[in-house]
Structure 1
Amino acid sequence: MTAPSIVILTGAGISAESGLGTFRDEGGLWAQHRIEDVATPEGFARNPQLVVDFYNARRAQAAEASPNAAHRALAQLQAEHAGSVTLVTQNVDDLHEKGGSTDVIHMHGALNSALCATCEHRWPAPLAMSVGQDCPNCAGPTARPDIVWFGEIPYHMERIERTLANADVFVAIGTSGNVYPAAGFVQMARHVGAETIEMNLEPGENVGLFDDVRPGKASETVPNWVAEILAG
């Protein structure tokens, strides 16, 4: 019997246990700003210093964070499962990579990457970016955080849709189910007959589309599920 092809989507909930706040956390970085001001192209055009400072703070916070048991379990699954395991994340931190995963699709960009708004060249972001930083490729003073802001098209959508079209199992971990296009992945997976599983502290808005719902901390539910898969 062929090992199942697994597609996994992770959201902010998997990183929350490593100390990185979600949109809803009171007192966190997101609570101090309006999304329109720090996570849209228009916000960047109005006040680039505010946006750069915001992502510098997020980058510094992420650099100090350590992966938790859920990140490590998914890395183990990628390494040991006989079938394909595609790991897609809405998160912009690098905790999956720190946890040992080697192929992570960052659909919303990455804090540790800088992007040139002129030529689209990418390079490793310094811990503290500055406004008007020069691009090392075209020398234009148009560097920005390599983050997909609201109103922009997520990265790698063609690759993600191809893997979903061939999925036997789709798992959503720590994601709210209300941000598209990621919230629609479960429907794509169901369309091809994949088993669908949600692991979340609280049910996502699209919880009714999942065959199996496993509430609880990702650091507990994910390792337990991975152990089941690897045990056959």
Structure 2
Amino acid sequence: MAKRLTYIYYLIGGITLFGLVSFGQNVIRTETENRSYYTRWAEYTQPQKENLLLLMSESEVRKALLDMARKEVYVIEKTNKNDHPRISYYNKIARSSAHAAYCAAGQYAMAKELGLQYNLKSPAAVRGWFTDKRTIIYNRGKWTGNAQLMDYIWIYGSHLEALAQPNIDPDIDDDDEILTIGFNTTAGTRKHGVHHPIWRRWGDVQLMTNQVTPAYLQLKNKYQ
């Protein structure tokens, strides 16, 4: 059974966003009046971010991406009407309206903040993450690749979340649970926002896509 054993991975690891390489050992977070958080990473230009990412392995990039998303867990809607400034930011980055659903826009914004460019024509639409069949590693019971940290899942009618554990046993049972991080979800609470950890039933997963590897390889090829 693959229920919640992977949570130990995070209790032991104590992952920090840029304790992965020498240039990123210290993360500085400043709380402003609206409780928005910023890091030194956010101050870098896009070329600087790309150069720094090149010094990291793909697995380190994935861990950094998870931490980029985890710093958003303070984002909670006041009245469940997208009423938080960070939500407007997510939708702006994803080229969507301020009051649109942001489960996909939030994930896209985190990748963009880190310096990754996903090849998505409609990043705010869940279906837009699954149009390229080459990126799909799981399709309704059939595996075509190995799941990795921060691969993205389509669950329920139209909702996107990111895998927050390092892998998934291909023989996982439908009643087993996986660990995720999600935007625009209640995660069993009364408030929509950004939540982690979230436990999702594997049987509810329809599709899984790997957007990180293509973006990372594209970045490496750009500087070769």
Q: TM-score range by the shorter chain?
A: under 0.3
Structure 2 length-normalised TM? 0.27
Q: Which has the larger radius of gyration?
A: 1
Q: Which has the higher contact order (CA 8 A, sep 6+)?
A: 1
Structure 1 length-normalised TM? 0.26
